[in-house]
Structure 1
């Protein structure tokens, strides 16, 4: 990416100066530059400077597109939130009509007038994903100096057109962020989102017409008259609600969809609800669905309503697709010549074919998630979602809602529609609970119940939902020691470790270092197309002398560091830094005998203080001495108000 950024920047300068386009510049970008030059666009600008004269009119004109696209945009943003991206919805002329993004990227967008109501056509701001996609009528990605205006050179943008049911262009969706985050997958995401919006638009029209395809659609559908009496219901709806046609025709919609003010909806002209997660209450059973409520307008008056709905599980599958809840690795991706590793893989394959819970224990950097993904892809659940959760990264007060979800209004700040937890998203597949030893004890007891009966209860919920989820736990801690310290439940340990897999540290499989180093170098050479680096055997032999406390992750970092420091061949290990780390660790380990660490279950505060002092404030080494995770150490430091400054 760095090489490309340098190339395109040089090519842009040459074009601005001479009007000549470098032959290696992408055709669609080169043509756009030429158009912008003819338009008289200032290449040293690139900011928005044309605002729609009436933004309210602009929004009202595109109200249907905005209402349909907004849930899709919010869904995508929930997946990329915090990664420095923003999403923009644009009408067919190039005016921005909706936007959502991280605070920092929105501040940068404001500097460029990259805001609602601004026009971002090629004629106004030069080559950019929005304007160029609308001009070419196809998905476009622009990176760095591919933008004609220099003020956009630190951006990457991906845009895809949106069409109506007659294939008329009605707008586009765009995702923008820092140029160093550019990835081809981003263009794929916005293209899929544009297609999703287009399909939702088509469905909305179909619902209004209530044509002869009524019983062939994949969603449940209920048609009501102005008196809220059910006039028609399709077969899919009967199946979802598990009722007979006779029972359906006698339903009181106000009771089965309690909490929705249908009288108010009838009074408000053209009022409709989209993608609302709500509960059907049928025969003392709760059925969670995502619903749409659309008015039937006749002669300017609401003459009835159409309710369409889909089971939440179907929506979750779509979310999983967008969120990337999919295992990428397989057993064939594990590189080894070590007999013990091969035996471990053989055992893991047998475990994968069962439906038992699995516990993977091993040092950090030994590939626990790689093994868990391989197990999932080798199992009968390979077509289902693979949802990975780092238990140590979730604040303790949010763990329950993150894992099990929450109902609408469950707590202050909760989404008014509620939110599914990771277990619900993993239904039909596998959930990988990394750093499971960091789970609070109260959550451990709830997890044990889920493992026992396969049911979850959302925070604020009153009913249990049956799930089909396989649990794979992983930890770099010795859970039997944690049990003795009362940090981990013994019954949960035995429930998890039906199949127990122990990863092999790199120091016990040093014959694999040859394979791993060559694999790393090969991938780096592929990644850096203009740089072909070889490696000397003496370099690999030198690497074998280290203990590799960080295992494969550490080895990969060292090789990558040496790769970028080398010209044609890697001959020497840049060992000064790594030797100092080894010496510090060895120094700390050798000094354990010099200080008596008081057992944590008796004088925990003193033990932590002694460890921190001994490690000169290095919390990573202190956690290693105490044999606890860093997240646990941080929590206890806060509890005891221990000073860590040196």
Structure 2
């Protein structure tokens, strides 16, 4: 290290004093970059300029690379947490060298480097000489530039590690960079940066090709679903449209992969294995170089369409019998109340999604009906197996055993849900080990039983529910990014009750569920509409049950809800209960409702009609004060 540092110091001295440097004094990529910087006429002693795009230019750049930013953000956050130490930053760059996003620790942010590497800044070799982000763009390879290896002396107090992100078609999609104030070579950090870049690349390829067949392959089947997997994207004629870097490595003996047919790469014709792949099987095939790989199809729109098409061709009579229209949302939900048009719009694709088996994620506040929607998805799927539901927070450290089963015990949750639906609430509460196990099962449709190692096939419709977004859970390092992309297939955000337009219909349904003959007065519905409903449907159901107990007859009126539904008033409109009701909370609440109704309607008669009570009752609450 001392010899190399001395060589670097001599090279820098010659560079800055003579405009040249000795060959062999620097790593090859750094030497080539210094030569390019010299040819560009960059002065190594110049102060770096603040090369920042205008707001308009940066907004256009961000919009152009929106998918890159979306898939990279959780990886940036995970990488930021993984890198040990302090005084560092993580940056995402565009193929043009524009910094799109940064995550910076406080110490680094206060340094000159932290103030220079900011969103909208440009870091190409042409503008800043040798730097990791610019070098990565020039070479299309991972780059490490430490301290004085930067061409500009002004950048010699920082070390940078960059890795390219490709688009699968040979083009550069972006750059991932980690910078720190340390000049010690950080191979562990370099490995983490490259792993994160590979994950972003795979996510981009999957997302961009939802309407094309995407194949995953690896020489070892247990590595399917990991960062080491190769990916091939096929055109309609089954020629290669895109391939990730791992795929290129596995098929290194086959030149010009883009445009090459599947049959030219592998010994089997795609038509001979297409149906089995589209239906979720993992197959063992050999490439033209004689190497065996395990292949499976990524579950997306194209694979579902292919499975339906091939199955229909192979089984025309059965296909005709099954050609029934997808159930309408109102028919599917005939046993529940959904009359809010926005919610209906969000749920309309659910029957089709459940039928094809795509993973479903349901987000909503506590009490918004997440499990109800999960059960209806199960019903729509037509699966023969059971609906198995569990709150991950109840599983504790034994979560993995609960999922797979114990060596000598009952089947695990996954096996119990085979051919049915597995619904996990708050999936991020599972430990990372259990999450990795779940990811493996969802990707393979099977697992090795912990008792005897036998392979257990367990095709399931997977539904996850949560009160917060999966993005937030990944950002907090509670959820593995790879699992997030696997379970966030079809996402539904359930609105809170306060934002739904069908509160009246829901209230009527819950009231009638209390028994035959029960009904609710319009005055009570008016009162219910004023409440904020922090407990959502759970709270509405509970308050109605309590109101039924208070009611003297089958028709619920506003006064029956008053003890359980305090009305909040602004200070200037605060209404006091009459003396005879003071001191008894439920009487005070009821009294305030009555006195408020008189104030709002400007008279006793109208208030009596609205509340559904006699004028005599109202007089009692008004006259008791005088």
TM-score in terms of structure 2 length: 0.39
Give the structure with higher Rg (CA).
2
